[in-house]
Structure 1
Amino acid sequence: MRKKQSIVRRTPVPHSSSVPLVTPLMPSVVYRSASPDAIDAQYDGTAPGYVYAREGHPNADVLAHKIDMLEGAEGGLIFGSGMAAITGALLGCVKAGDHVLGGNQLYGRCLRMMAQELPALGIETGLADPTDAQAMRAAVKPNTKAILIEVVSNPTLRIADISGISQLAKDIGALLIVDNTFTTPRSFRPFEYGADVVVHSVTKLLAGHSDVTLGYVAAKDPERLEAIEGIWATFGLTPSPFDCWLAERGLHSFELRFDRAQENAARLADALAGHRHVTKVLYPGRPDHPDFDRAEKLLKGQGGNMVSFIIDGGRTQANALTKAAPNIAFAPTLGDIGTTLSHPPSSSHRALSESERAALGISEGFFRVSVGIEDPDLLIEELSAAIDASV
């Protein structure tokens, strides 16, 4: 009598004495184990491997290890988004009754978290100017347990006084959390300047192609990282294997993309500075930047790929500019291989009042450019013509 067979879950992966050159995509949610003792060994840490993808999977670990090498870290975690990474880092560092002090020019959604979501969890928050360590010190409370800053602010491109803030965190026994998304480890490595936790939106420059949504967190202290990992797994902040696989592929060209985009950004900033309808240009690599000396010291001549500028006029002129530049994507993102143009008053900072935006220097004529790797002459020509058409 013929033995019954089935193709369902009974065909093992073929063994090979060679290994793939490209990291395989491994979308499995669960992993087979030989016995209950084998699962115990994995959970106890005495045997390697995976059990359930919410608690880790190979594609996330491969990507995390590569970003670890860039940041000089160990054991970093990949999150489902940049905001998931910020959430995990904060909830792994503070609890109800604690106070978090943030830079007042954080990414717009971070500002919302500081104003609404964290207070709803019983966590006190405050904001201060990160370019002024004394202003940050004045905003400290007895229960301040964490300080959250970006090295280069979004979208005004101001440079934080990282040395002063790092010393402040040490003085008060608070954890320093640094969002390194804008700068990337190509320009700045926060752990070398006293950071306790480093966060990235991998979605941006590291992955570089606007086709994944991921975040990354690393911590200097293994016990702190373990606390963040508990939030990561319990809250389900873990990423898709496919996104990790795509991001790893993008990461392979990161340094080449960053260097080319940075060269283009420097040229664009200089061109915009000479445009008759541009009232202000913000680029850390230019001597007229308000924090130029600090940028030179911290970033070592790496101005980055971001340029912000202000044009004459208000919303009418802003609408006209974007419509006059159809080949430059108007999109609220950054770090793509192609240049994108964003308008913070209508996107990242729309939740702020007009007066709050004005206090940060963000008017209706304020634009942020995430410069890509295109021909810089073409980019300058197109954007200059669009500005001319807007006024």
Structure 2
Amino acid sequence: MSDDTLVRRTPWPESSSRAVGTPLQPSVVYAAESPDRLDDLYEGRAPGYSYARERHPNADVLATKIDGMEGCTGGITVGSGMAAVTAGLLAHLKAGDHLLGGNQLYGRSLRMMSTELPRMGIETSLADPTDVAAIEAALRPNTRMVLIEVVSNPTLRVADLDGIAQLCKSRGILLAVDNTFTTPRAVKPFDHGADIVIHSVTKLLAGHSDATLGWVGARDAALNEAMLGFAQTLGLTASPFDCWLAERGLYSFELRYDRAEENARALADHLHGLPGMERVIYPGRPDHPDHNRVASLLGERTGNMVTFEIAGGREAANKLVRAASNIAFAPTLGDIGTTLSHPATSSHRALTPEGRAALGLSEGSFRVSVGVEPADLLCREFEAAVRAAAA
């Protein structure tokens, strides 16, 4: 190659074999052979790509895999879990509509409902998703959508998914379900009547705390088309590299989920009754407030998340974190390793102390995203930390 052609792109080498690993394609733009061919692409007569903000191969590969897990086609990959929430909501809501949310949503979802949506003219309110009667009482003539999580973050309450879905269907209201905590390994919301399903792929699906992504999908093609157009227009683009990492993470998802779930059961039982322990919340325990619904909705798939509360307030919380030095204290979940978070200073810090108390969260509340380490190691480390906090 001469110096004067160095800037020209080198054709990709032909091969009679194919790569086993998915290729990473970071290109922002894709060249078409003619204006006619570009028309064919944009108008759906030919497959392909033009500009990565609109679509790119790594995002489509990942979305197709999650589509298969959830039981739909046409879902989209976006730049974060909150981008998925945004696309799921704003592609279908307009000024004057009412959005009803579960009162124990993820902190940023609550903030969106309390701050961002109202300034756009969208009415919002909250109700208890464990009580379908409370949801029904909170509906308004202009209610367009209900947003819930199957298992709430971080209080681990279990929504009456079937009851709410039946209610929404009878009223012609869209039901959006955030399935991040439970994942399709535990429950598939479409099979229970959900219209839209949302994931923070960043968490359990990707599983290694190295990719920030979201996914949102529907079984109705028109809903998917609206969300895709919204995401393309507002630039909710997913990074090709993050999509590539997340797809790699999915190959071990079921192994990771099952091991972490087994560990979570063991840790929850071990924490119960330790000195200074006020309460332990885990869907698999018989003392969980929604235990009967857990059995009917989730069965044995009770997840990898454990929430507990210790006595002693912020001082004891600081002691516990310092004593648990081998456990990453980080505002995340779903990593292959165990992480510990403190809602009052992370996910729910935007709420007032009174607002957190109304959700059952105190300065002594912690959320554990249990990983795949040996269960006996986790039990020893957490017992030592809890005892240090109570000392």
Q: Report if TM-score (shorter chain) is over 0.5.
A: yes
Q: Where does residue 309 of structure 1 map in the other structure? A: 308
Q: Could you tell me how far apart the structure 2 residues matched to 1:287 and 1:111 are? A: 29
Q: In structure 2, give the amino acid aligned to 1:263.
A: E
Q: Could you tell me how far apart the structure 1 residues matched to 2:166 and 2:63 are? A: 29
Q: In structure 1, give the amino acid aligned to 2:97.
A: D
1:263 CA drift (Å) = 0.2
Q: Could you tell me how far apart the structure 1 residues matched to 2:60 and 2:388 are? A: 49
SS of alignment partner, residue 310 of structure 1 = strand
Q: Where does residue 189 of structure 1 map in the other structure? A: 188
1:171 CA drift (Å) = 1.9
Query: Is this contact kept in 1: 2:95–2:122, CA < 8 A?
Result: yes
Q: Could you tell me how far apart the structure 2 residues matched to 1:28 and 1:281 are? A: 48
SS of alignment partner, residue 5 of structure 2 = coil
Q: Where does residue 17 of structure 2 map in the other structure? A: 18
Query: Is this contact kept in 2: 1:285–1:303, CA < 8 A?
Result: yes
Q: Could you tell me how far apart the structure 2 residues matched to 1:265 and 1:244 are? A: 28
1:4 CA drift (Å) = 7.7
Q: For structure 1, which runs of at least 5 residues remain unmatched after alignment?
A: none
Q: Where does residue 201 of structure 2 map in the other structure? A: 202
322-331 or 7-16, which moves further after superposition? 7-16
Q: In structure 2, give the amino acid aligned to 1:95.
A: K
Q: Could you tell me how far apart the structure 2 residues matched to 1:309 and 1:72 are? A: 33
Q: Where does residue 327 of structure 2 map in the other structure? A: 328
1:18 CA drift (Å) = 1.5
SS of alignment partner, residue 125 of structure 2 = strand
1:256 aligns with 2:255: yes
Q: Could you tell me how far apart the structure 2 residues matched to 1:311 and 1:81 are? A: 32
1:276 CA drift (Å) = 2.3
SS of alignment partner, residue 229 of structure 2 = helix
Q: In structure 2, give the amino acid aligned to 1:349.
A: H
Q: Where does residue 154 of structure 1 map in the other structure? A: 153
The one-character-per-residue Cα deviations of 1:294-342 (angstroms, maximum 9, x if unpaired) are 0111111111000000111100100110001100000010000000000
C-alpha RMSD over aligned residues: 1.1
1:9 CA drift (Å) = 2.5
SS of alignment partner, residue 12 of structure 1 = coil
SS of alignment partner, residue 54 of structure 1 = coil
Q: In structure 1, give the amino acid aligned to 2:17.
A: S
> In structure 2, do the counterparts of structure 1 residues 386 and 10 end up closer, same or farther at CA, with 3 Å as the change threshold?
closer
1:214 CA drift (Å) = 0.1
Q: Could you tell me how far apart the structure 2 residues matched to 1:274 and 1:362 are? A: 19
Q: Could you tell me how far apart the structure 1 residues matched to 2:276 and 2:155 are? A: 19
SS of alignment partner, residue 47 of structure 1 = coil
Q: Where does residue 178 of structure 2 map in the other structure? A: 179
Q: Where does residue 287 of structure 1 map in the other structure? A: 286
Query: Is this contact kept in 1: 2:179–2:197, CA < 8 A?
Result: yes
> In structure 2, do the counterparts of structure 1 residues 363 and 33 end up closer, same or farther at CA, with 3 Å as the change threshold?
same
Query: Is this contact kept in 2: 1:93–1:175, CA < 8 A?
Result: no
Query: Is this contact kept in 1: 2:263–2:375, CA < 8 A?
Result: yes
1:73 CA drift (Å) = 1.0
Q: Could you tell me how far apart the structure 2 residues matched to 1:243 and 1:10 are? A: 25
Q: In structure 1, give the amino acid aligned to 2:51.
A: Y
Q: Could you tell me how far apart the structure 1 residues matched to 2:115 and 2:2 are? A: 63
Correspondences of 1:349-388 after superposition (within 5 Å): 349-388=348-387
Query: Is this contact kept in 2: 1:166–1:195, CA < 8 A?
Result: yes
Correspondences of 1:1-391 after superposition (within 5 Å): 5-391=4-390
1:274 CA drift (Å) = 2.6
Query: Is this contact kept in 2: 1:317–1:390, CA < 8 A?
Result: yes
Q: In structure 1, give the amino acid aligned to 2:345.
A: S
Query: Is this contact kept in 1: 2:275–2:386, CA < 8 A?
Result: no
Aligned length: 390
The one-character-per-residue Cα deviations of 1:70-89 (angstroms, maximum 9, x if unpaired) are 11110110010000000011
The one-character-per-residue Cα deviations of 1:39-58 (angstroms, maximum 9, x if unpaired) are 00000100000000011000
Q: Could you tell me how far apart the structure 2 residues matched to 1:4 and 1:164 are? A: 69
Q: Could you tell me how far apart the structure 1 residues matched to 2:41 and 2:78 are? A: 22
Kindly, what percent of the aligned residue pairs are identical?
Answer: 65
Scaled by the length of structure 2, what TM-score is found? 0.98
1:3 CA drift (Å) = 8.4
Q: Could you tell me how far apart the structure 2 residues matched to 1:131 and 1:170 are? A: 18
Q: In structure 2, give the amino acid aligned to 1:76.
A: G
